Amino acid sequence: MNRTVKSTLWVLVAISLLILTSFSYTSTNDLVNPEKAKKIHMIAKMGHGDYWNAVKMGAEVAAKEYNVNLVFKAPNNENDVGEQIKMMGESIKQRPDAIILSASDYMALAQVTDEAAYYNVPVLSMDAEVASAKVETYIGANNYEAGQKAAERMIELTGTDSQIAIVNFVKGARNADQREEGLLDYVARYPGIKVVDIRYSDSDQRIASQLTKDILISHPDIDGIIALNAEASVGVGREVKNMGKGGKVKVIAFDNPPENMDLLQEGVVQALVVQNPFNNGYLAVQLAVEASEGKHIPDRVDTGIKLIDLDNMLWPENQKLLFPFVK
Amino acid sequence: MNKAEPCSPTRRLRMLIAQVMNRIRLRSIQFIITISFMVITILVVLIVSLMLYNKFSKTAEENAYLNIQQIIEQVNSNLENYVNGMIDIYEVVEDQIDKSPTISSPILAEQLRAILKSREDLKSIALYTRKGDLVLNIPSLMMRKNTRLEQQSWFEAAIQRPKELTFSSPHIENLFKGQYSWVVSQSRQIKYADKSGRKQDGVLLVDVNFKTIDEISKKVSLGKKGYIYIIDSLGNIVYHPQQQLIYAGLKYENLEQVLSYSYGSYVDHSTGESRLITIKTVEPIGWKVVGVAYTDEILTTKQDLNQFIFWVLVVVILLVLLISIYMSAKISRPIKMLEKSVKKVEQGDFNTRINVKGAYEVEQLSHQFNLMIGRIGQLMDQIIYEQEAKRKSELDVLQSQINPHFLYNTLNSVIRFAQREKKEEVITMINSLSKFFRISLSKGKNIITVQDELEHVRNYLVIQNMRYKNKFQYKIEAEEKALSCLTLKLILQPIVENAIVHGIEMMADEGFIHISVNIVGDKLLFQVTDNGLGMSEETMQQLLTGHLKSEHGSSVGVKNVHERIRLYYGDEYGLQFESELEEGTTVCIWIPAVYEDEGGGVT
């Protein structure tokens, strides 16, 4: 009697062990730990235009790849600094894992950036820097060099004895200022070059056109116009073409919206200084993820600039840069 | 002192191990069964699971590889079909142009428009002169300036290899106003009839967008992370799930190695992860379909299997441990009980009885053991009894050697003869008595020759005959061979004494005692026959069991002889009686025939 009880007990122990182990096996297998999606806010200067669309596209590709919940915010106009500050404030309140900021104004956005850092929200600068030491990194082109390249090509085209005008976008924006600075510094080497006018288009194609018209009328002998961003470029090119000055007034433009490419092929625009907006967006999100995880990220990521003209626009690597592969 | 200190922990450890070993008792049945059972089972399970693991993982891996290969082949054949379809379309277009009497015919334009409309992935059809001037384009869009089409690869290829239909690498179509878009161009030099109907050489361009290629490739996935991509023969990426990232330089594929294969697969480590690259070439145009599968995904089945087998092993080992401990305990417990019982027996307790239940063999063993113990007890008792009996009979012999009663009677007779001055009788009697005692004692030997025994009984008869005043006659006969046989001494005298006292003394007539010795087979037979009163059957029985009460007490001697013979020679020997009342008695004494020379050792 006693012995049978004992043996049944053993069997019970064995069976329970078996069940236990099989359970633990399945439970460890089925236990999936879904990584929480990162929340990253990207605050751009403007919500439309080809340049910003490309940035946004890059950012979205990276967001998908790195499981990021991306919030893209931007004012309607690049000069709407107040709105951008407000957006920063709202984002900080939501405590995202990181904020990517393309500051419309170098100084004006500094305070709110420091505030983000105070709340331990890492801020990454993209496209244009902000006057804060708390920024994790800067992702974008070397704008000073971009300005210099534009000036260099312009002087090659017009010669060292000419009049040129500049159509910039927003005064106070770091990239606008740096491009202008680089350009003027380069031009300063040539005493024969006169910069007859510097105008700000507020990244509005129509304003840029209007400004171009003014310049062309008030300086009929002008040799060239340099436009310092995509919107300004389109406005300038369009107006130069409309006024029948295509090819006579040399135009150096910025970035690669399709209209710029059209103008380049038509010979209205002689060269384009092209940044890499897709990469800016992509790398900004990628680095924001790394920064939010506390990883060390480089202080500056230069996504490069390229000077594109008719001769090299069809080079395979330039085709890839200039024409996004949209499916 | 210092040297001893580091020693002590190791010594303690060694002692501990020794204690544990003692506890386990390495050679105990339980331990041996447990260990061997476990070792065998675990070995078998290990071998079986290893074999299964190898087999399964191999199959799983092969299946995965095969699966990937099949997917790639499928994509490849889809692409081939697609490309062949495109070639067909190109040839149809070429045919239409060739048939048309003039290139400016509106019918031709209509036909080409219809072809273009029929397929979503056809971007444009255009015909150029060998100098690069536009002849015809569908849809009829404005040409851009500065197209530099003469430098574009599709045009160059058509001029350099006029007969060959070439597929260009993916490139931007920059010829017509409207959107810039990525296309693959088919081109060849063809003949067409110009406006005036003259045949001219021209370059026909059919641009194809990526719609269908993307559709063919997009749905394909190799595991969660795996994907496929397509490159052309120069390594330009035609399709890639992350095409823009690759074009932007943010992602890379290690194309160098891919380009060196036309068919096959290899494992690539260039991205830091182990990836299985499978390559198949799209025959008509030299494109390559490249499958990228992540090895860790392929091997998930292997890892699952690994884990599963590990747990099975753990469970089996635990189960085997439990079962073997239980089994061995069950087997060894009865044996241990047996061992305990045997120890008790060893200590002298022959009353121990084992009642062990368990395996059949052990039950049998305990049963046999019980029988054996019983038998040993019996034998022990018997030995004790026999030893006692032997000692008693030896005492009796000693007593009969001297027999004071007989000596007293004889000496009385001698005195009577001496008083009557019967000198001869005195001499004869003393002489016989002396011989009688000499043989009685015979230097303490137990065994004497038959001759001596007969001599002994003769002297006894001489003395008795003289005492009983020739009341009986006697005769002693012996086979010559029997004389030299050996016998236990003093076996005849008590029989003869019995014959005289009970058979002849009471008789009115003259008595006769006949003693004979014969060899019967391998036995020696003494026969003592008298013609006395005889005995009843009952008396004969009682003679041997010693229950007969007699005033003379000589029956004790008869029984003693019987027992001595049986003790000495075994139960098959001893006395036999044949008697009839008033007729006489014959006593047969059976002993083995042992000759003096061969039985010399027997004392």
What pLDDT does B548 receive? 56
Q: Between residues B338 and A263, which one has the greater pLDDT? A: A263
Q: Is B243 in Cβ contact with A29 (below 8 Å)?
A: no
A135 and A63 belong to one structural domain: yes
Which stretch of A303-312, B134-143, B536-545 has the lowest confidence by average pLDDT? B536-545
A182 and A205 belong to one structural domain: yes
> Which domains does chain B show, CATH number per domain?
28-90+301-349 (no CATH), 100-213 (3.30.450.20), 221-298 (3.30.450.20), 446-595 (3.30.565.10)
- Answer yes or no: is A75 within a domain: yes
Chain B, nearest residue to A326 by Cα: B244
Which stretch of A13-17, B59-63, B170-174, B258-262 has the lowest confidence by average pLDDT? A13-17
Closest CA to B89 of B188, B8, B215, B231: B188
Residue B125 CA to residue B288 CA, distance in Å, equals 26
Residue A212: give its domain's CATH number.
Answer: 3.40.50.2300
Q: Is A278 in Cβ contact with B248 (below 8 Å)?
A: yes
- Answer yes or no: is A32 within a domain: no
For chain B, how long is the longest CA-to-CA vector? 201
Residue A278 CA to residue B242 CA, distance in Å, equals 13
Cis peptide bond upstream of B139, omega within 30: yes
Which stretch of A208-217, B181-190, B504-513 has the lowest confidence by average pLDDT? B504-513
Alpha helices in B277-299 (DSSP H): 295-298
Element of type H or E holding A306: strand A306-308
Q: What angle do CA A131, A132, A134 make, to 5 degrees?
A: 160
Alpha helices in chain A (DSSP H): 2-30, 50-65, 81-93, 110-118, 143-158, 174-187, 205-218, 230-242, 258-266, 277-292, 316-322
| pLDDT at residue B440 is higher than 70 | yes
What pLDDT does A18 receive? 60
Residue B170 CA to residue B153 CA, distance in Å, equals 10
Cα of A22 to nearest chain B Cα, Å: 8
| pLDDT at residue B552 is higher than 60 | no
- Answer yes or no: is A226 within a domain: yes
- Answer yes or no: is A14 within a domain: no
A158 and A70 belong to one structural domain: no
* pLDDT average, residue stretch B280-286: 86
Residue B548 CA to residue A186 CA, distance in Å, equals 161
pLDDT level of residue A8 (50, 70, 90 thresholds): low
Q: Is B248 in Cβ contact with A320 (below 8 Å)?
A: yes
What pLDDT does B4 receive? 44
* pLDDT average, residue stretch B480-497: 88
| pLDDT at residue A300 is higher than 90 | yes
| Cβ contact A252:A269 at 8 Å | yes
Q: Which two tokens stand for residue B570?
A: 């075994």
Residue B231 CA to residue B290 CA, distance in Å, equals 8
Backbone angles phi, psi at B223, to 5 degrees: 75, -165
| pLDDT at residue A227 is higher than 90 | yes
What pLDDT does B603 receive? 39
Q: With left for phi above 0 and alpha for psi between -120 and 50, is residue A95 left, alpha or beta?
A: left
Does the predicted interface ipTM exceed a cut of 0.90? no
A190 and A285 belong to one structural domain: no
Residue tagged 């085209």 (tokens): A157
pLDDT digits (tens, 9 = 90+) for A147-156: 999 999 999 9
Q: Which two tokens stand for residue A91?
A: 């984002």
Mind spelling out the 3-state secondary structure of B174-224?
Answer: CCECCCCEEEEEEEEEEEEECCCCCEEEEEEEEEECCHHHHHHHHCCCECC
Q: Which two tokens stand for residue B85?
A: 């379809």
Which stretch of A12-26, A219-233, A291-305 has the lowest confidence by average pLDDT? A12-26
Average pLDDT, chain B: 84
Pairing of strands B122-129, B134-138: antiparallel
Closest CA to B564 of B435, B398, B449: B398
pLDDT level of residue B447 (50, 70, 90 thresholds): confident
Q: Is the dihedral of CA B456, B461, B466, B467 positive or negative?
A: positive
* pLDDT average, residue stretch A133-152: 94
Name the residue type at position A297: I
Residue A122 CA to residue A117 CA, distance in Å, equals 6
| Cβ contact A84:A75 at 8 Å | yes
Q: Is A310 in Cβ contact with B180 (below 8 Å)?
A: no
Which stretch of A7-11, A85-89, A297-301 has the lowest confidence by average pLDDT? A7-11
A137 and A160 belong to one structural domain: no
Which stretch of A11-20, B161-170, B318-327, B535-544 has the lowest confidence by average pLDDT? A11-20
Chain A, nearest residue to B172 by Cα: A319
Residue B401 CA to residue B489 CA, distance in Å, equals 10
Which stretch of A131-135, A222-226, B53-57, B147-151 has the lowest confidence by average pLDDT? B53-57
* pLDDT average, residue stretch B343-362: 75
Q: Is A58 in Cβ contact with B247 (below 8 Å)?
A: no
A183 and A203 belong to one structural domain: yes
What pLDDT does A31 receive? 41
A56 and A70 belong to one structural domain: yes
Strand partners, B595: B485
User: How many distinct structural domains can be found in chain A?
Assistant: 2
Chain B, nearest residue to A3 by Cα: B330
| pLDDT at residue A39 is higher than 90 | yes
| pLDDT at residue B597 is higher than 80 | no
Q: Is A14 in Cβ contact with B318 (below 8 Å)?
A: yes
A102 and A180 belong to one structural domain: no
Name the residue type at position A285: V
Give the structural domain span for A234.
143-274
A interface with B, Cβ–Cβ < 8 A, is 7, 10, 13-14, 17-18, 21-22, 25, 29, 57-58, 61, 258, 261-262, 265-267, 276, 278-279, 282-283, 310, 313-314, 316, 319-327
A282 and A137 belong to one structural domain: yes
Q: Is A265 in Cβ contact with B315 (below 8 Å)?
A: no
What pLDDT does B37 receive? 80
* pLDDT average, residue stretch B231-250: 87
Strand partners, B279: B264, B290
pLDDT level of residue B589 (50, 70, 90 thresholds): very high
A263 and A287 belong to one structural domain: no
pLDDT level of residue A11 (50, 70, 90 thresholds): low
Q: Does B67 touch chain A (CB under 8 A)?
A: no
| Cβ contact B190:B94 at 8 Å | yes
Q: What is the DSSP letter of B501?
A: I
Q: Between residues B316 and B110, which one has the greater pLDDT? A: B110
| Cβ contact A212:A251 at 8 Å | no
Q: What is the DSSP letter of A46?
A: -
Q: Does B48 touch chain A (CB under 8 A)?
A: no
* pLDDT average, residue stretch A142-166: 94
| pLDDT at residue B185 is higher than 90 | yes
Cα of B197 to nearest chain A Cα, Å: 34
A314 contacts in B (CB within 8 Å)? 148, 151-152, 171-172, 174
What pLDDT does B2 receive? 46
- Answer yes or no: is A76 within a domain: yes
Contacts of A2 (CB under 8 A, 6+ apart): none
pLDDT level of residue A4 (50, 70, 90 thresholds): low
A228 and A114 belong to one structural domain: no
3-class DSSP assignment, residue A253: strand
Percent of chain B with pLDDT over 70: 93
What pLDDT does B317 receive? 82
Which stretch of A6-15, B493-502, B576-585 has the lowest confidence by average pLDDT? A6-15
pLDDT digits (tens, 9 = 90+) for A66-94: 999 999 999 998 889 999 999 999 999 99
| pLDDT at residue B15 is higher than 60 | yes
Closest CA to A150 of A180, A192, A110, A122: A180
- Answer yes or no: is A187 within a domain: yes
A101 and A196 belong to one structural domain: no
* pLDDT average, residue stretch A217-239: 94
- Answer yes or no: is A28 within a domain: no
What pLDDT does A26 receive? 47
- Answer yes or no: is A265 within a domain: yes
What pLDDT does A307 receive? 95
